[in-house]
């Protein structure tokens, strides 16, 4: 006996679930459900048959995969959400009753939801995290530029979140400066685009590109749902912390880098952070913890008596590489780990940059130069760009004028306001200094060479600033180096030239003869063209032979040219006859065409007739000129 299939147990009704059904199944609020879906990467789906998915109802609804909702039932964050909900009720009751001591104890024991497991789940390898780092860097930088309190009495974003975003951006830039990994800079309409090469798995570099807005006053809109953006920001901050810890560890540096409070109070961003190297050979009494690698090295040392020293080194190297592959994402350091290196000698920001070795064997672009940033220049932007390519920077805060003792070794002055030659000479005071605009720095980095500073003088019209990437995101640098700045002028008519590539053979012949007759780059002399129109005419042939003799053309070359010109004329003549004789077939063709195609076909035929008439007029004009010369 066949089993009766009940409604809603098969097909779309079983595969999809509405949002209200998901809320009842998970027993959470709508705001918690939205936050959970953002953190887990689950988004609404569009079923093929909405009525079937909604079990016969045509009411509007948002659908999710039933398997995704079932997967959320085992999420540890659900427990944290419920704990936070209970905490909020207890805190509200304590505050309502005036039990301040109990409220303080509850606040100290507030449950905190950690997102570390989500980062490991969504990015199982380090390379995947680097490839998806563009959006996190963009959003974190956006929040770092927001005002701390845009509306009196109403804070949209907590100030500590804004300061944490600024710290993450400074740590990312500090790593880029230390490793000299900045490759390209582009000044766009939305802001400044950067690209660095981060070391991925297997030594293959991963391109990381992000956008930073210009330093203008931010007007925060009030109709933006900052709760959704803050949910994304929580995940992105955790991801960037993981990536930075991995990158700093590979450079044998402590993460997070300590902050110099004095420099931070003076307004330094990247310069307020200090780089601390890890202590590798620590004494046994100082630390009670033993890492896994040290245990494995000790075991290898015990077994080394059975083999040669070379074999031990090879095994140790292979084992270390295997450990690195297994531990692709490690936990962020705890407070105890930071206390172990707290007593390590601090290396200042400037000394690290001075002693930093370039990542490649090539000399850095700006290593021999010292730049002075004028007061109207964004020191946060150009200090990072110049130092990441090996240059030294002196800002207007450090040295108010070029006469200061700190500005003695300045070779370039980056300025963004018009200045006369007399003003520049007066400011230099006998020293030889190159004055440039900020675009010169970006163009030099994109071209990987020092450009001439004449076109970038203060107050001068700048050359076109071209993007180092094409439309698909790949590098267009070889193309830029080949064409240079003239590309900007030639690209205006490039689109118009591409439209005429698919012409017929008859039109190409007509264009060729038209270009020859107009004298742009003539392939044949006028008398030779006239003789090609009628090879049996002895008068035209004699005139063509006299013209070839005057031009120093040999008789064999003349015969070859005459044959080629005759072939070209015969092809153009056939095209003209085909246009005139094919009128009977045009009507039959138009019958099988739509109105749109028929109009396009008429335009093509009109163009062919115009070109054929122009060819015939040019040939007649050339013939008359030859006859006039012969008569003279």
pLDDT digit string, tens, across residues 565-574: 887 777 666 5
| pLDDT above 90 (res 440) | yes
Question: What is the pLDDT, as a whole number, of residue 471?
Answer: 53
State whether 398 and 425 are in the same domain: yes
Runs of H (alpha helix) within 551-582? 555-581
Domain membership of residue 626 (yes or no) is yes
- Cβ atoms of 499 and 520 within 8 Å: the answer is no
Give mean pLDDT, residues 388-399: 85
Summarised one tens digit per residue, pLDDT across range 306-329 is: 444 444 343 444 444 444 544 445
Residues 146 and 66 in one domain: no
Give the CATH number, domain containing residue 412. 3.40.50.10190
CA 579 to CA 583: how far, in whole Å? 7
Q: 332 or 312: which carries more pLDDT confidence?
A: 332
Is 598 contained in some domain?
A: yes
Region 588-608: mean pLDDT is 80
Residue 219: inside a domain = yes
Kind of pairing between the strands at 412-414 and 16-18: unpaired
Which structural domain range is residue 550 located in? 526-567
Q: Is residue 231 part of a domain?
A: yes
One domain for residues 139 and 225? yes
Q: SS3 for 185?
A: strand
Residue 580 is assigned to a structural domain of this protein: no
Structure token pair of residue 94:
């304590």
pLDDT digits (tens, 9 = 90+) for 193-246: 999 999 887 778 889 999 998 888 777 777 788 888 999 999 999 999 999 999
Quickly tell me which residue has 């199982």 as its tokens: 124
Q: Which residues of 247-260 are buried (b: 16+ CB within 10 A; e: fewer)?
A: bbeeeebbbbbbeb
Q: Give 149-175 as a 3 state SS string.
A: CCECCECCCCHHHHHHHHHHHHHHHHH
Residues 82 and 190 in one domain: no
* CA-based nearest residue to 398, from 269, 266, 274: 266
Average pLDDT, the chain: 75
Neighbours of 212 (CB within 10 A): 22
Split into its structural domains, the chain has a count of 5
Examine the fold and report which residue of 381, 415, 447 is the final residue of a domain before the chain moves on.
447
**Least-confidence region, from 328-342, 402-416, 533-547:** 328-342
Q: Which of 83, 109, 135 is the last residue of a domain?
A: 109
Q: What proportion of the chain, given as a percentage, has pLDDT over 90?
A: 18
Is the same domain home to 178 and 229? Answer: yes
Question: Does pLDDT of 362 surpass 50?
Answer: no
Q: How many CA atoms lie less than 13 Å away from 138 in the CB half-sphere?
A: 14
Same domain, 123 and 260: yes
What local confidence, expressed as pLDDT, does residue 309 receive? 40
Which is higher by pLDDT, 623 or 184?
184
CA dist 230 and 156 (Å) reads 10
* H, E, C per residue of 572-612: HHHHHHHHHHCHHHHHHHHHCCCHHHHHHHHHHHHHHHHHH
Phi, psi of 145 (to 5 degrees): -100, 0
* End-to-end CA gap in the chain: 113
How confident is the model over 266-305, as pLDDT tens digits?
A: 666 676 777 878 776 544 444 445 555 565 566 655 554 4
Whether 231 and 250 map to the same domain: the answer is yes
pLDDT at 404: 78
Give me 511's structure tokens: 């264009």
- Does the pTM surpass 0.85? The reply is no
Determine phi and psi for 266, rounding to 5 degrees: -80, -5
């Amino acid at each position: 006996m066949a089993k009766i299939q009940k409604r809603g147990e098969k097909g779309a009704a079983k595969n999809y679930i509405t949002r209200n059904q998901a809320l009842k199944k998970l027993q959470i609020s709508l705001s918690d459900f939205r936050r959970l879906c953002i953190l887990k990467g689950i988004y609404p789906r569009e079923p093929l048959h909405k009525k079937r998915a909604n079990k016969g109802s045509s009411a509007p609804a948002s659908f999710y995969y039933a398997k995704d909702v079932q997967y959320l039932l085992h999420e540890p964050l659900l427990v944290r959400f419920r704990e936070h909900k209970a905490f909020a009720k207890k805190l509200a009751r304590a505050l309502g009753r005036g039990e301040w001591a109990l409220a303080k104890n509850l606040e100290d024991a507030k449950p905190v939801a950690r997102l570390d497991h989500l980062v490991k789940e969504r990015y199982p390898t380090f390379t995947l995290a680097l490839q998806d780092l563009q959006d996190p860097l963009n959003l974190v930088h956006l929040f770092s530029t927001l005002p701390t309190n845009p509306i009196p009495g109403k804070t949209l974003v907590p100030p500590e979140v804004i300061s944490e975003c600024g710290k993450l951006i400074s740590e990312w830039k500090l790593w880029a400066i230390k490793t000299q990994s900045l490759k390209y800079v582009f000044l766009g309409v939305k802001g400044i685009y950067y690209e660095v090469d981060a070391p991925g798995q297997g030594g293959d570099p991963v391109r990381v590109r992000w956008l930073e807005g210009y330093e203008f006053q931010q007007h925060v809109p009030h109709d933006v749902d900052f709760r959704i953006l803050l949910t994304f920001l929580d995940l992105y901050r955790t991801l960037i912390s993981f990536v930075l810890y991995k990158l700093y560890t590979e450079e044998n540096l402590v993460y997070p880098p300590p902050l110099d409070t004095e420099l931070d109070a003076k307004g330094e961003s990247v310069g307020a952070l200090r780089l601390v190297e890890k202590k590798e050979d620590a004494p046994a009494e100082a630390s009670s913890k033993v890492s896994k690698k040290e245990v494995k090295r000790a075991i290898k040392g015990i077994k080394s008596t059975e083999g040669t020293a070379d074999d031990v080194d090879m095994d140790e190297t292979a084992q270390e590489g295997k450990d690195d592959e297994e531990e692709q994402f490690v936990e962020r350091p705890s407070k105890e780990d930071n206390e172990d290196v707290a007593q390590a000698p601090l290396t200042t920001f400037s000394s690290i940059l001075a002693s930093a070795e370039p990542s490649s064997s090539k000399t850095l672009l700006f290593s021999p130069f010292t730049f002075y940033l004028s007061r109207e220049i964004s020191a946060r932007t150009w200090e990072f760009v110049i130092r990441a390519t090996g240059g030294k920077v002196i800002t207007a805060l450090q040295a108010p004028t070029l006469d200061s003792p700190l500005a003695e070794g300045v070779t370039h002055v980056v300025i963004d306001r018009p200045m006369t030659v007399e003003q520049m000479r007066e400011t230099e005071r006998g020293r030889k200094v190159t004055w440039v605009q900020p675009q010169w720095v970006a163009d030099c980095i994109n071209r990987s060479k020092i450009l001439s500073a004449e076109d970038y003088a203060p107050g001068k019209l700048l050359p076109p600033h071209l993007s180092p990437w094409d439309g698909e995101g790949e590098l267009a640098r070889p193309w830029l180096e080949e064409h240079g700045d003239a590309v900007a002028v030639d690209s205006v008519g490039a689109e118009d030239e591409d439209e005429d590539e698919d012409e017929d053979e008859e039109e190409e012949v007509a264009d060729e003869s038209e270009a020859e007759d107009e004298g742009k780059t003539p392939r044949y002399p006028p008398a030779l063209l006239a003789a090609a129109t009628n090879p049996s005419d002895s008068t035209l042939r004699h005139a063509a032979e006299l013209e070839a003799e005057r031009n120093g053309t040999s008789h064999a070359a003349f015969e070859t040219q005459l044959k080629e010109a005759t072939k070209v004329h015969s092809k153009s003549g056939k095209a003209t006859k085909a246009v005139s004789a094919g009128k009977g077939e045009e009507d039959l063709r138009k019958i099988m065409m739509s109105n749109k195609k028929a109009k396009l076909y008429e335009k093509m035929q009109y163009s062919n007739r115009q070109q054929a008439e122009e060819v015939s007029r040019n040939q007649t004009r050339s013939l008359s000129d030859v006859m006039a010369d012969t008569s003279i």
